[in-house]
Structure 1
């Protein structure tokens, strides 16, 4: 079944157009030859028309462009030689377009060979029909045309190769940029970058290293085709000023012979076992000039990178920088959206997310869940007496005391102002009492402010899921009511929602 035109390649369409045009143009000549009864013309024209139409049908039904391009070129050359043999010098000038077309239809080497045969046979057939002045000039014109067509063909092939390589590089860039734009995790982005580099440079192995949070060690960003021993060796490297690699120096490092490079002793055995000879390390620098990591490209033979390679890798380094900076920005935005900037505790937004998961787990496991709402007593007095900076210090220390008091499984959050929430997971009533008393005792301790002692006790309201409320909003409301009841009862105490007078329950 023939392929639809919209699904055909450009080469398909060009060859179909050429063969169809040649068939249509030559068909009237065949008709005139038949009407004139010229046997010689009929033989030549029918061979041409029939051959070109056969090529058209072959391409139409098979889309095998390479095969039928060769057949078309050979058929054109044979047909014109037959025509010259029969009709003489009148058809010799058709050699010019056929010589040029051969370089498009055939591989360059075959086109040169076939054109040499075409020119030789064609000129031999009409050598006695030209004078000694015209014949050598005609032969020279064929040869010059063949040389120019050859040069142009090689030039276009190189251009096409460069365009294909550029297109491949652009595809890699677009894929990586799409991953960055969609906030894909760094591991996926780094793997795509490494795959792109190893596709651009065959027979190399690449890794991306990152400076860790301590700024003293390294983390492996990606190295999918390097041995596990390399991964372990990276963990042993230290980022020190005298280390001879890009992550430490912030400059490009080229190592011709890894085996003889004393600054990388940890990698020498790895390089030897993996047959890695040379290395090129390119730093990844942030917008502020800070060192984020490096690209390390390993070669299996002793080579030095070319300027074109430097330029290409710099593009991928820039993509890695964008990905790292974007990841940092995303993390910062998420941190600011979900954590209290003063105390570092989860804020109201993240608290609701934690509570939703906790309620689902409690419902699934048929366990109770308790939340404690905590409000500092006399916090306004501290703010008014010592100032807001002192109040911030109290809030920070209060959050630290809360985190030191609650269990690892519990969740502490700041709602705002001097209000905090503690989510107590999978607890019994006796455990709740113990945690509440510990919180009261910890928060009743004085705060050292400007050389003086300030006291901010706490009032705590406690509500249970599902006995007090079945939804998060209702649960928070119940805890809030219990907390205010604790204040009414004299402050510095914990109060359960279930212990409130019936008239206040909701």
Structure 2
């Protein structure tokens, strides 16, 4: 084929082509063979292909497989790892066919070799790794597969993959070719400038080549650890995420001092991308799991995670016939921390409490944050006595001082306890019963614990039933208003105003005390609906009275402190009066001292707006709380209501008389009206009148009555006398 067109065509091929004679000796190689393996035609002629191309990691049975294929089928086709003249490994697709002399051939074979090194790396390695990722293979198993595939492509390599955490410590992910004791010794090692090849590569953020472990000073602290492995060199490359942060290292170890070759570099280029993708994907999965099952603020299991763990724990206790306990922990006055110090302070306190709770439980116990300042602990294999001891330990731990932004806080908590299986056999029942016990502890005495009892459950069921009934009562208009007159005593008896009092008569239970359903409405979030109904009903009644010629100067309505927590509450009240054609002076708004002293911005905004629109405020139950006289002149308060406890003691208590005189004096100096509540006897009425009390309210003067009875009362009122 001296310079024939055929030879020219073969030389242009990218494939390596070799012809051998009947003695298996090379008689021709094309230019593609020379380009791929480095042997010229003169150097190859007369030699055996196996002598030229097979190397230390070529499959030992390759030659026999080729001869067998030629003998039995006349051809052979397969992939093989072979080597070029300079020792570089090449993966090739090999096609060998007979070249009989009878058919014009040299009598041996024609071999066509196609370089598939890159194809094998990309298609085989990448395909298998990505398939493993899709099938939800764990990260260590996936990284082990990467190492094994690399070692299959480049058998002279021992591969290793380490993860690097956010604290700069390494953790082995995969190293199937390294002894287990080496991986254990490397776990948790801090990266740095002289921490072998991997620790240094992670520290520097760039590849580190150690051609001789025996002499590289970066290996001084790790040389002895690797001595028994026979490994002489290491090349480590940092694995970086899409933000450029080092999240791991990928290392090749060699059994002889050397540098990586082109194949190794190509392999690493492919694997670094795959490893980064896998590590980032695993981090995302862990993050999703963290968000789904753990509380972002405290790091504790959330409601869903706690429930899963608790159900497994209960199943285990049921199988082993054990008892357990559920502790429901609720912080006392936590809202006050948020309101006075801000939510950042509240978050800090929650994190501290979560840490302290974690220190109070055992490894087999379950702990979680349900919501807000509510925590739960499920104690496995625990007696009632042990549960109480743990609850006492929890209370003591939480009560330790906490420094938040330079301010010392003294937190406390209330704990309810339910016992498995006596108080419930499922987690929902145990939590509900422990919650009921916690509320009992909080109502009895804060910073205490309470065991669940069936009596608590009965009361809780009654409360739930009453809450549902109150919802229906508001929806169906079952609530009504009664009105109690307030009269002036000097110079003559006259109607000062009426106080509106909500009444509820249940179809089955009969009359329900406001002392029961008003607090229930506050806890159940029904105050906005109740207040809207109250103000609207009063406005309608004022117009009805006036249309009938009954002069009612104003109506006083009691407002819950929670109404003032609603943005826009003041404007809503004003709008309601305007819709009924009434003015602000037609309504007197009674508030408690807690509203007066509420520092919330929304509360102060509502009070200020009510004042600007002309509404008058009456301070209810004055003297029974923690009154601050400074608020009386700062807020638009025009009336003080003297609590009935003072009035009832006037006849036999010098202290009550002295305090009442003080209240009357304060009100007079501030230009405020005093309304004495609970006046039931003529002696009380006379004393109050003699000491300058202008307005009185009580059974002596008029009981609460339906609106239609006001006219009849007014006709009889003249018979009432304090003399």
Give the TM bin, normalised by the shorter chain. Answer: 0.5 to 0.7
Instruction: Give unmatched runs, 5+ long, in structure 1.
Output: 1-63, 72-105, 120-145
What is the CA-CA distance between 1:347 and the residue it aligns to?
1.0
Do the aligned partners of 1:169 and 1:200 also contact (CA within 8 Å) in 2? no
Q: 1:373 aligns with which of 309, 328, 344?
A: 328
In the alignment, the residues of structure 2 paired with residue 406 and residue 433 of structure 1 have an alpha-carbon distance, to the nearest angstrom, of 13
Deviation, 1:457, is: 2.8
Are 2:213 and 1:224 equivalent residues in the alignment? no
Residue in structure 2 matching 1:260, options 201, 209, 215:
215
Distance (whole Å) between structure 1 residues aligned to residue 165 and residue 123 of structure 2: 31
1:273–1:464 distance in 2 versus 1, CA, 3 Å: closer
Secondary structure at 1:427's aligned position in 2? coil
- 1:471 matched residue in structure 2: 426
2:109 is the counterpart of 1:107: no
1:309 aligns with 2:298: no
Greater Rg over alpha carbons, structure: 2
Does the 8 Å contact 1:208/1:220 carry over to 2?
yes
Contact 1:276 1:298 in 2 (8 A): yes
> Shift of the alpha carbon at 1:373?
1.0
Equivalent residue for 1:462? 417
- Tell me the equivalent position of 2:382: 427
From the two aligned structures, give the one with the greater strand fraction: 2
Which deviates more from structure 2 when the two are superposed, residues 347-356 or residues 171-180?
171-180
Task: Using the TM superposition, name which of 298-307 and 484-493 deviates more.
Answer: 298-307
Q: 1:174 aligns with which of 127, 134, 159?
A: 127
Q: 1:166 to 1:397 in 2, by over 3 A?
A: same
3-state DSSP class of the match of 1:435?
A: helix
CA offset at residue 198 of structure 1?
0.6
How many angstroms does 1:367 deviate by?
1.1
Question: What does residue range 27-426 of structure 1 map to in structure 2 within 5 Å?
Answer: 66-67=70-71, 69-70=73-74, 107=96, 110-111=98-99, 114-115=100-101, 118-119=103-104, 157-159=112-114, 161-162=115-116, 166-167=119-120, 169-211=122-164, 214-215=167-168, 217-228=169-180, 230-231=182-183, 234=186, 239-243=191-195, 245=197, 246-266=201-221, 268=223, 273-426=228-381
Tell me the distance in 2 between the aligned counterparts of 1:162 and 1:502. Answer: 75
Return the offset for 1:69: 4.8
The offset of 1:234, in angstroms, is: 4.2
Deviation readout 1:288-322 (Å, 9 max, x if unpaired) = 22222222212334543333431222111111111
Secondary structure, aligned partner of 2:218: coil
- The separation in 2 between residues aligned to 1:384 and 1:227, in whole angstroms, is 58
Cα distance, 1:270 vs structure 2: 6.5
Distance 1:189 1:427, change over 3 A: same
Give the C-alpha shift of residue 352 in structure 1: 0.0
| C-alpha contact 2:233 2:258 (8 A) present in aligned 1 | yes
Does structure 1 residue 437 correspond to structure 2 residue 392?
Answer: yes
Cα deviation digits, residues 380-407 of structure 1 (max 9, x gap) = 2222222222222222222233233344
Contact (CA 8 Å) 2:437, 2:452: kept in 1 or not?
A: yes
CA gap of 1:426–1:283, structure 2 versus 1, over 3 A, is same
Q: From the superposition, tell whether residues 168 and 285 of structure 1 become closer, same or farther in structure 2 (CA, over 3 Å).
A: closer
CA distance in 2, matches of 1:330, 1:422: 27
Aligned partner of 1:500 in structure 2 is 455
Q: How many residues align?
A: 371
Change (3 A) 1:67 1:354: same
Contact 1:482 1:500 (8 Å CA) reproduced? no
CA–CA distance in 1 between the matches of 2:347 and 2:370? Answer: 15
Sort the Cα spacing of 1:378 and 1:247 in 2 relative to 1 into closer, same or farther, 3 A.
closer
CA distance in 2, matches of 1:370, 1:233: 41
2:415 touches 2:450 (CA, 8 Å); kept in 1? yes
Q: Using the alignment, how far apart are the partners of 2:224 and 2:333 within structure 1?
A: 66
Deviations 1:305-348 (A, max 9, x none): 33343122211111111111112221122112111111221110
Cα–Cα, structure 1 residues 374 and 262, in superposed 2: closer, same or farther, change >3 Å? closer
Cα gap change, 1:275/1:389 in structure 2, threshold over 3 Å: closer, same or farther?
closer
Bigger mean CA offset, 447-456 vs 202-211: 447-456
Deviations 1:133-182 (CA, angstroms, capped at 9, x unpaired): xxxxxxxxxxxxx79xx9xx76xx333x528x725741332221122233
Contact 1:461 1:479 in 2 (8 A): yes
Q: Is the 8 A contact 2:384 2:419 kept in 1?
A: no
**1:216-247 per-position Cα deviation (integer Å, ceiling 9, x unaligned):** x5332222123456546646975222456223
CA contact (8 A) 1:377 1:492 kept: yes
Distance across 2 between alignment mates of 1:443 and 1:234: 39
- More relative contact order, 1 or 2 (CA 8 Å, 6+ apart): 1
Deviations along 1:68-104, whole A, 9 cap, x unmatched? 6539xxxxxxxxxxxxxxxxxxxxxxxxxxxxxxxxx
**Per the alignment, in what secondary structure is the counterpart of residue 177 of structure 2?**
coil
Q: Which runs of 5+ in 2 are unaligned?
A: 1-67, 76-94, 462-723
TM-score between both structures, scaled by the size of structure 1? 0.65
How far apart, CA to CA, are the structure 2 residues paired with 1:189 and 1:351? 30
Deviation of 1:356 after TM superposition, in Å, equals 0.4
Q: By how many angstroms is 1:421 displaced?
A: 0.8
Following superposition, the deviation at residue 277 of structure 1 comes to: 3.8
Matching of residue 491 in structure 1 with residue 495 in structure 2: no
Aligned partners of 2:184, 2:396: CA distance in 1, in Å? Answer: 48
Give, in whole Å, the separation in 2 of the partners of 1:67 and 1:340: 70
CA distance in 2: counterparts of 1:502 and 1:273, whole angstroms: 69
Q: Secondary structure at the match of 2:244?
A: coil
Partners of 1:502 and 1:107 in 2: CA distance: 87
Worse-matched range after superposition: 284-293 or 437-446: 437-446
Q: Conserved in 1, the CA contact under 8 Å of 2:194 and 2:219?
A: no
- Give the whole-Å Cα distance in 2 for the aligned partners of 1:235 and 1:488: 52
SS of equivalent residue, structure 2 residue 295:
coil
